[in-house]
Structure 1
Amino acid sequence: MHIQTFLDQQKWSGFQTLIFIMMFLVAFFDGMDTAVMGYIAPDLIHDWQISKADIIPVLSAALIGAAIGAIVLGPLADRFGRRALLLVSVFIFSIGCVLSSFAINLTQLEILRFITGLGLGAALPNAVTLLSEYCPAHKRAFIVNTMYCGFPIGAAVGGFAAAYIIPHFGWESMLLISGVIPFLLCICMLFLLPESVRYLLLKNTNDQRIPQILGKINASAREQQFELENSSSNISMLQAMRTVFSSKYAVGTLSLWICFFSGLMIFYSIVNWMPVLFKEVGMPPHLGPIVSGLFALGGIGAMLNGWLMDRFNGNYVIAVCTFFTAVCVALLGTAIHWSLLIFIVLMISAGTLQNTAQSSLPVLAAKFYPTEARTTGVSWMCGIGRFGAVVGTLCMGYMANNNMAWTQIFTVLAIPAVVMTVCMLIKNIAENEAKDRNTSTDFAKE
C-alpha cells in the first residue's frame, strides 16, 4: 500500500494529534524567539545608552543566522532525517536565547543572537515537512496552516508577555523565558517525536520502525507492507537542489522565494520597529509591544486559509490576501493621524491578511515539491525569505533614523505586498503551462 493511501483512509488519530502539538509548539517558540528582540529593544536602548543605529545589528543578527540556518542546516533533513535536524535546531535556538540573557555588551549579544538564529531558521521548515508527511492529502493545508499559526501566535504572545514582564523583571528575563521553555520542549520531543515515515521509506523500504509507527495510527498497519509513490526516489542533496531548480519547478521556486522574502520584509519591519517608534512619538511604553503583538496575532487566519487551500487554488487564495494587505498597510500611515483606534483596527487587519498569506506559503511549498526534495525546497524558500526580514529591518531602521513621515514609511511597506500578489499569479501561470505541456506529451504518446 502507498503510504499516502494509508494516511488518507484513516481517521485522524491521537498519535497524529501529539505530533501536531509538538510541531505547533516548535512554531510557537520559533515565533516568540524570533520577535523577542523587537520587544526588548526600547529598554535595551535605554539601559545600555545606545542609539537606534546601534540596535540595528542586534535586531538583524538572529535574522541573518536564521537565513543561513534554513539554507545550510535545513536541507540536511533530506539526508539525515527530519527528527534529528528538528531536535538539533530547537536545542540551538533555546540555548542561544538563554545565553543571550547574560550578554553584557552589544558584541556578545549579536554573536549569541546569530547562533540563536541558526536554530530558528532550520526548525520551522523541518516542522512543516514532518507534519505534512503525517497528514491526509485532503486536510493537509488546513492542518499544516493551523500548526504554522503557532509562529505568529508565539510572536504575539511574546509581545503581550513583554508588556508585563519587562517593566517588572527586566528585558533579560524575557530572553531567559524564551529559551528555557523550548529547551524543555526539546527534551519531550527526544522521547515522543517519531521520524517521518515517508523519510524512512525513502531510505529503506524494509525499515521495521515503519509498521510500528503507523500502528499507532491504526493497528492494522502492523500487518501491512508500505511503499512510496513511484515518482519518489532516494537522491543526494545536490540532486535535490537540481530538482528544485529543474524546468518543472524553477519558476515556482523563484516565485515562492520572492514572495516569502517580501512577506518577511513587512512582518519584521513592523514587529521589530513599532515598539521603538511608538515610544518616540510619546505613546505609552507598553502599547508598542501590544500593537506589534496584535499585528502578529493576525496569523491565526491561516486556519481559514488552509481550509480554503484544500478546496480552491492556493495561489489565488494567497494572492487575494496579499493584495488587500497592500491596501491596509498603505492606509496605516494616514490612519495614525486620524485616530489610534482606526490605526489599531487597520494594523490588525493588515496583520491578519499578511500573516495568513505568510503562514500559508510553507504548506504551498510542501505541496509543490516531491518527497525527495521537499525539505530542501521548503528550507531554501524559508532561508532566502529570512533575508527579507534582514532587509526589512535595515530599511525600517534607515527610514526611522532619517525621520521619514509615517505616510511615507507605510507606503514603502505596502510595495512588498504588491510584489507577493504578482508572484503568486506568475506561479499559477507557470503551473498551468507545465500541466498543458504534460497533457500534450501524454496525448502524443497515445
Structure 2
Amino acid sequence: MHIQAFLDQHGWSNFQWLIFVMMFFVAFFDGMDTAVIGYIAPDLIRDWQISKVDLVPVLSAALIGAAIGAIVLGPLADRFGRKTLLLFSVFIFSCSCMLSSFAQNLTQLEILRFITGLGLGAALPNAVTLLSEYCPSHKRAFIVNTMYCGFPIGAATGGFAAAYIVPHFGWESMLLLSGALPLLLAMLMAWLLPESVRYLLLNGADQSRIQHILQKINALALQQNFRLEAKSRQLSALQSMRMVFSSKFLVGTLSLWLCFFCGLMIFYSIINWMPVLFKEADMPPHLGPVVSGLFALGGVGAMLNGWLMDHFNGNYVIAVCTFFTAICVALIGPALHLSLTFFIILMICAGTLQNTAQSSLPVLAANFYPTAVRTTEVSWMCGIGRFGAVAGTMCMGYLVNNNIGWSQIFTVLAIPAAVMTLCMLIKNMSEAARDSARFSLSQQDAE
C-alpha cells in the first residue's frame, strides 16, 4: 500500500497530534532563541558600555550560524534520519543559549550565538519535513503552516517575556530561560518522537518497524506492507544539487530561495532593531520588545494561509500576502509621526501578512520536492534565507548608524516584499509552462 494513501484514508490520530505538538514547540523555541538577542540588545549596550555598531556582529552571529547550520547540517537528515538530526539540533541550540547567559564579553557572546545558530538553522527544516511526512495530503499545508506558527509565536512570547523578565532579573536570565526549556523538549522527543516512516521506507527498513509506527495511527497498518508512491533512492549531495538545478526545478528553486531570503531580511531587520530604535526615539523601554513581539505574532495568520493553500494555488496565495506586506511596511515610517496607535496597528498588519507568507514557504517547498531530497532542499532554502536575515540586520545597522529617517528606513524594507511577490509569480509561470509542455507531450503520445 502506498504510504500516502494510508495517511489520506485515516483520520488525524492522537499519535499525529503528539508529533504536531512536539514539532510546534521546536518551532516555538527556535523563534524564541533566534529573536532573544534583539530583545536584550538595549540592556547589552547599557551594561557593557558598547555602541550600536559593536552590537551588529552579536546580532548577526546566530543568523550566520543558522545559515550554515541549515545548509550543512540540515541535509544530513536525508542520510542519518529526521529524528536524529532534530534531536542533535535542539540539543546544540538549547545548551549554547544557556551558556550565552554566562558570557563576559562580546567575543564570547558572538561565539556562543554562532553555535546557537548552527542548531537553530538545522532544527526547523527537519521539523517541517518530519511533520509533513505524517500528514494527509489534503490537509498538509494547513497542518504544517499551523505548526510553523510556533516560530512567530515563540518570537513574540520572547518579546513579551523579556519586557518583564529583563528589568527584574537581568538579560542573562532571559538567555538562560530560552535555553533551558528546549533542552527539556529534546529529552521528551528522544523518548516519544518517531522517525519519519518515509525516511525508513527510503532506506529499506523492515516492514515490521513501519507497521509498528503506523499502527498507532490505525491498527489496520499491521495488515499492510507499505511502499513509497514512486521508486526512489538515497541521493548524494552532488546528485541532490544536480536535481535542484535541473530544468524541472531550477526556476522554482531560485524563486523559493530569493523569496525566503527577502522575507527574513524584513523579519530580522524589525525584530533585532526595533527595541533599539524605540529607545532612540525616547519611547518607554518596554514598548520596543512588545511591538516587535506583536509584529512576530502576526505569523498566526499562517493557519488561514495553510487552509487557502490546500484549496487554491499556493503561489498566488503567498504573492497576495507579500504584495500587501510591501504596502504596509512602506507606511510604517510615516505612521509613527502621525499616531502611535496607527503605527502599532500597521505593525501588526505588516507582521500578519509578512510572517504568514514566510511561514508558508517551507510547506510550499516541501510539496515542491520529492522525498529523497525533501529535507535537503528545504534546508538549503532556509539556509540561503538565513543569509537574508544577516543582510537585513547589517543593512538596518547601516541605516541606523547613519541616522536615516524612519520613513526612509521602512521604504527600503518594503522593497524585499515586492521582490517576494515577483518571485512567486515567476515560479507559478514556470510551473504552468512545465505542466503545459507535459500535457502537450501526453497528447502527442495519445495520438
Aligned to 2:342: 342
SS of corresponding position for 2:228: coil
**Matched letter for residue 107 of structure 1:** T
> C-alpha distance in 1, partners of 2:237/2:219?
34
Within 5 Å, which residues of 2 pair with 1:10-159? 10-159=10-159
CA deviations 1:402-432 (Å, max 9, x no partner) are 0101010000000000000000000000001
Amino acid paired to 1:132: S
Residue 212 of structure 1 is matched in structure 2 by 212
CA distance in 2, matches of 1:236, 1:61: 29
How far is 1:207 from its partner?
A: 4.2
Q: Give CA deviations for 1:57-85 in whole Å, capped at 9, x if unaligned.
A: 00000000000000000001111110000
Instruction: String of CA shifts for 1:33-92, please: whole Å, max 9, x gaps.
Output: 000000000000000000000000000000000000000000011111100000000000
Q: Distance in 2 between matches of 1:208 and 1:110?
A: 47
Cα shift at 1:358:
0.2
Which residues in structure 2 correspond to 1:155-170 (within 5 Å)? 155-170=155-170
Unaligned stretches of 5+ in structure 1?
A: none
Q: Aligned equivalents of 2:249 and 2:320: distance in 1?
A: 23
Asked if the contact 1:274/1:292 (under 8 Å) is kept, the reply is yes
- Between the aligned residues of both structures, percent identity stands at 77
TM-score between both structures, scaled by the size of structure 2: 0.99
Q: Structure 2 unaligned runs (5+)?
A: none
How far apart, in 1, do the equivalents of 2:312 and 2:240 lie?
A: 28
Residue 228 of structure 2 corresponds to which residue in structure 1? 228
Give the superposition deviation at 1:196. 0.2
Q: Does 1:238 align with 2:233?
A: no
Q: After the TM superposition, which residues 165-204 of structure 1 pair with which residues of structure 2 at under 5 Å, given as runs?
A: 165-204=165-204
Distance of 1:45 and 1:31 partners within structure 2:
23
Distance in 2 between residues matched to 1:168 and 1:6, nearest whole Å:
52
Deviation at 1:222, TM superposition (A): 1.1
On the 8 A contact 2:58/2:109 being kept in 1, the answer is yes
Following the alignment from structure 1 to structure 2, what is the Cα–Cα distance between the partners of residues 294 and 398?
Answer: 24
8 Å Cα contact 2:79-2:234 kept in structure 1: no
2:256 is aligned with what amino acid?
Answer: L
Q: 2 CA distance for matches of 1:412 and 1:113?
A: 27
Quote the Cα distance in structure 2 between the aligned partners of 1:340 and 1:181: 34
Distance 2:23 2:414 in 1: 31
Mean CA deviation greater in 242-251 or 310-319: 242-251
Which residue is equivalent to 2:254? 254
Q: What SS does structure 1 have at the residue aligned with 2:283?
A: coil
TM-superposition CA deviations, 1:182-224 (whole Å, max 9, x none)? 0000000000000000000000053431000000000110111
CA contact (8 A) 1:258 1:385 kept: yes
The RMSD of aligned alpha carbons is 0.7
**Contact 2:207–2:226 (Cα < 8 Å) also in 1:** no
Contact 1:205 1:226 in 2 (8 A): no
Q: Is 1:396 aligned to 2:396, yes or no?
A: yes
The residue type paired with residue 216 of structure 1 is K
Q: What letter matches 1:49 in structure 2?
A: Q
SS of alignment partner, residue 311 of structure 2: coil
Q: What is the 5 A alignment of 1:420-431?
A: 420-431=420-431
Determine if contact 1:241/1:373 at 8 Å carries over to the other structure.
no
Residue 438 of structure 1, CA deviation: 1.4
Equivalent in the alignment of 1:323: 323
Matched with 2:303 is 303
433-442 vs 175-184, greater mean Cα deviation: 433-442
Q: Counterparts of 2:247 and 2:210 in 1: how far apart (Å)?
A: 33
Judge conservation of contact 1:79–1:237 (CA < 8 Å) in 2. no
After TM superposition, the structure 1 stretch with the greater mean CA deviation from structure 2, 229-238 or 265-274, is 229-238
Which residue is equivalent to 2:290?
Answer: 290
CA distance in 2, matches of 1:251, 1:205: 34
Contact 1:65–1:116 at 8 Å: present in 2 too? yes
**CA–CA distance in 1 between the matches of 2:191 and 2:28?**
20
CA distance in 1, matches of 2:171, 2:203: 46
- 8 Å CA contact 1:241–1:376 kept in 2: the answer is no
Once structures 1 and 2 are overlaid, which stretch shifts more, 224-233 or 411-420? 224-233
C-alpha contact 2:207 2:225 (8 A) present in aligned 1: no
1:386 aligned residue: 386
CA apart distance, 1:230: 1.8
- 2:58 and 2:237 map into 1 onto residues whose CA distance is 32
In structure 2, the residue corresponding to 1:208 is in which secondary structure? helix
| Aligned partners of 2:128 and 2:362 also within 8 Å | yes
Contact 1:260-1:382 within 8 A present in 2 as well: yes
Q: How many residues align?
A: 446
